[in-house]
Amino acid sequence: MCFVLLVIILICTNIFLVLVSQAVNKDNADLLLSGYNTMSKAEKENFKLDEYLVYFKKFFFQLALYSSLATIISYVLFDELTTTIIYALTVCLPLPLFIYRSNKKFKK
């Protein structure tokens, strides 16, 4: 994979992650947040949505930032294939942790 393609993928993915984090708010959470949109009214009242949205936005912004840094550093240190694998791992591996912490932390 050439360097230009890697940079294009990195930029597009980061723009998507930041846009997702900024697009979700309290008004549209009922439509956009998987799991929240299927909760009953009582469950939604027991869910700390405001705190969750702060965590959600921070997580996806940091995911974009740290995956970019890891990719840039790995490109300097390794070949392109290894860099691509590292980038894929830095984007995919934090997501199960995000889900676990979300389920544990924000339900009252």
The terminus-to-terminus CA distance of the chain in angstroms comes to 47
Q: Where are the domains of the chain?
A: 3-105
Per-residue pLDDT of the chain (108 residues; tens, 9 = 90+): 678 888 898 999 999 999 999 999 999 988 888 888 888 888 888 888 999 999 999 999 999 999 999 999 999 999 989 999 999 999 999 999 999 998 888 765
- Claim: this prediction has a pTM higher than 0.75: yes
* DSSP assigned state of 25: -
Instruction: Count the neighbouring beta carbons within 10 Å of the beta carbon of residue 44.
Output: 14
Using CA atoms, how far apart are residues 103 and 34, in angstroms rounded to an integer? 12
Q: Report pLDDT for 30.
A: 86
Residue 34: how many CA atoms within 13 Å on its side-chain side?
A: 1
